[in-house]
């Protein structure tokens, strides 16, 4: 495999939209704020080792954060996440976590929480599934956002802070399915309740005046080392991942896209973009060399060696774990979360419009023109 930078392809794909964004930035018409929501794939520091998902207890320690920040930032990766690359692309500072009260919030806030669910926590309590489950949900993040707005009113909250902001709704719902594995709760029930929760959440944002919204679908979580480690070898799809889980996510994403289509009709002045996380992830798994990846299924940081380098009692950061020399060649970081390299590639695929509908460039042009 070539030793050239693994993200050259992504850079080339992005180049077609770079100039329009730069021009918009220079005129002051691009986004000045981002408000982000989601789970660990978007969380930039709202959880620490003592409050994050059970099983991943070392997020506040190296080697987390080692690739870019050279220190742990409570991101569940070796470096930056997709939302970080979006912020950089828009020439904005990286989003601070909501729980950091001392952070500069002038360019937005990140409300995403690792381990968070789409469905409210009370559902899992009622079904005796609350052991070691993060209590925060999308509903919690909405409460935080509303509190943030209330606090801003004392500092003269302007309509533009909502109407001219980018709302990034990161992947949410994968944990809902994960927490119910092995229970009597049907996957179809989780899908229905997750979509209902996401729909209600988006309705609130849009009624508050949000006009530029990006909504990520579920990724191919059937490709995660943890999922592969726990599954039967016969349950595999065309890219070698757990077929039943990837199919379930694909079906849920179809329902979500139908919901977004109806919302575009209900809120015609808003731009609502679907970010196809599933499709982008699937594409990388089909053509890894094209995007600079050498290892698809093995976690960069973990223990146990091939084929997944994942052991439940030797997770990333533990004394039993080791870290690969070049995380950028790995899709997966710690068995569940992705490497900075993978996030960078997927972010590029969404930004350049290949895996966003309507395209991210269309959203930027609408914002630049300011004609709603």
Single out the catalytic residue among 177, 197, 337, 356: 337
* 235 among known catalytic residues: no
Query: 359: which 2 tokens?
Result: 């395209």
Pairwise CA distance, residues 198 & 220, whole Å: 19
Classify burial at 305, counting beta carbons within 10 Å of its beta carbon; exposed 0-12, middle 13-18, buried 19 or more.
exposed
CA torsion sign, 41 to 43 to 48 to 52?
A: negative
Single out the catalytic residue among 40, 137, 321, 356: 40
Task: Look at the block and give the residue holding tokens 């690792």.
Answer: 114
Angle formed by the axes of helices 82-89 and 340-351, nearest 10°: 50
Single out the catalytic residue among 43, 303, 334, 356: 334
* 40 among known catalytic residues: yes
Pairwise CA distance, residues 2 & 157, whole Å: 52
Is the previous residue joined to 297 through a cis bond, with omega within 30 degrees of 0?
no
DSSP character at residue 96: P
Instruction: For 238-273, give one letter per residue: b (16+ CB within 10 A) or e.
Output: ebebbbebbebbbebbebbeebbeebeeebeebbbb
14: helix, strand or coil: helix
Q: How many CA atoms lie within 13 A of 244 on its CB side?
A: 12
Q: Are residues 182 and 243 in contact, defined by beta-carbon separation less than 8 angstroms?
A: no
* 334 among known catalytic residues: yes
Active site residues: 40, 334, 337
């Amino acid at each position: 495999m070539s030793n050239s930078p693994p993200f050259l392809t992504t850079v080339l794909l992005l180049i077609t939209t770079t100039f329009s964004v730069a021009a918009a930035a220079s005129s002051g018409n691009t986004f000045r704020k981002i408000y982000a929501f989601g789970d660990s794939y978007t969380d930039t520091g709202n959880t620490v080792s003592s409050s994050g998902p059970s099983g991943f207890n070392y997020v506040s320690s190296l080697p987390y954060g080692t690739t870019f920040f050279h220190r742990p930032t409570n991101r569940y990766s070796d470096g930056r996440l997709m939302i970080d690359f979006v912020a950089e692309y828009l020439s904005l500072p990286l989003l601070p976590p909501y729980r950091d009260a001392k952070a500069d919030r002038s360019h937005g806030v990140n409300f995403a929480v690792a381990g968070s669910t789409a469905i409210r926590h009370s559902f899992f309590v009622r079904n005796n599934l609350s052991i070691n489950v993060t209590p925060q949900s999308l509903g919690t993040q909405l409460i935080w956002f509303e509190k943030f707005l209330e606090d801003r009113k004392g500092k003269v909250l302007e309509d533009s802070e909502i109407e001219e902001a980018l709302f990034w709704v990161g992947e949410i719902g994968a944990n809902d399915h994960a927490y119910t594995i092995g229970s009597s709760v049907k996957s179809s029930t989780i899908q229905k309740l997750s979509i209902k929760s996401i729909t209600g959440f988006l309705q609130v944002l849009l009624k508050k005046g949000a006009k530029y919204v990006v909504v990520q679908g579920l990724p191919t979580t059937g490709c995660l080392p943890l999922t592969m480690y726990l599954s039967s070898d016969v349950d595999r799809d065309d890219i070698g991942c757990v077929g039943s889980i990837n199919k379930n996510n694909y079906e849920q994403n179809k329902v979500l896209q139908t919901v977004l289509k109806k919302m575009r009709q209900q809120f015609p002045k808003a731009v609502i973009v679907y970010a196809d996380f599933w499709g982008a992830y699937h594409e990388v798994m089909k053509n890894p060399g094209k995007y600079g990846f050498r290892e698809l299924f093995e976690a960069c940081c973990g223990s146990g060696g091939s084929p997944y380098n994942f052991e439940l009692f030797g997770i990333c950061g533990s004394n039993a774990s080791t870290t690969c020399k070049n995380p950028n060649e790995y899709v997966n970081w710690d068995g569940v979360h992705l490497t900075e390299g993978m996030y960078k590639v997927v972010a590029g695929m969404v930004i350049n419009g290949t895996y966003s509908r309507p395209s991210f460039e269309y959203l930027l042009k609408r914002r630049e023109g300011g004609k709603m």
